[in-house]
Amino acid sequence: MATKRALAIDQEQRDLAVELTALALERAAPDEIVVLNDSAAEYFDDPESALHPPDRDEPLGAGIDVVMTTPYLLSAAGVVLPVLGAFAGDIAKDIAKDVVKEPLVRRIRALFRRGPGEPAANVPALTQDQALHVRGVVLEHARALGLPPGQATVIADATVGSLRVRS
């Protein structure tokens, strides 16, 4: 019998992962936003079970089998946040010293895209190359989780689509 294994990350990292996942869900699976907090609690409590749920004997409803996107986006956020931290540090080197003093969490959060009405000037953003790197990291991670190529692409595109990228 397998024992459940909680993910050992601090609350700030969980909050960032959930925030990035919420933004990605708006693009990939908006219907899952209403269960995000419950799904996140389950994921952080036992990631393996959330990512690889036991096979059901019967599909839901009339032969429909539902695969949640949320756990995969949370997992992708977990591998992307350290990359964004490194990029945020690089970006901070290029701007005023006052900004460099900001906590790393605030600099990572600044890379999250909020919506079309947000200000574009003086906002940190990833370069096209950095965005491609993030997409590659997520694709590789999704494939390692055993996701089909189409679903891996949705996870990667939704994650990168949730970040500010210079045009």
Is residue 59 in some structural domain? no
CA 103 – CA 86 distance, rounded (Å): 13
Number of domains in the chain: 1
Is residue 62 in some structural domain? no
Is residue 60 in some structural domain? no
CA 54 – CA 40 distance, rounded (Å): 18
Q: Is 24 exposed, middle or buried (0-12, 13-18, 19+ CB in 10 A)?
A: buried
- Between 59 and 113, name the one with better pLDDT: 113
CA 66 – CA 53 distance, rounded (Å): 11
Q: Is the pLDDT of residue 5 over 50?
A: yes
Residue-wise DSSP of 56-86: PSS-BTTTB----SHHHHHHHHHHHHHHHHH
Q: Residue 33 CA to chain centroid, in angstroms? A: 13
Domain range for residue 47?
11-54+68-161
Question: What DSSP designation does 123 have?
Answer: -
pLDDT in tens, 139-161: 999 999 999 999 999 999 999 99
Percent of the chain having pLDDT more than 70?
Answer: 75
CA 15 – CA 163 distance, rounded (Å): 16
SS3 category, 58 = coil
Rg (the chain; Cα; Å): 17
Cα end-to-end distance, the chain, whole Å: 50
Is residue 131 in some structural domain? yes
Is residue 128 in some structural domain? yes
Is residue 4 in some structural domain? no
CA 7 – CA 148 distance, rounded (Å): 24
The predicted pLDDT at position 151 comes to 94
pLDDT in tens, 16-70: 999 999 999 999 999 999 999 999 999 999 999 999 887 644 454 544 445 789 9
Is residue 3 in some structural domain? no
CA 53 – CA 145 distance, rounded (Å): 12
Is residue 23 in some structural domain? yes
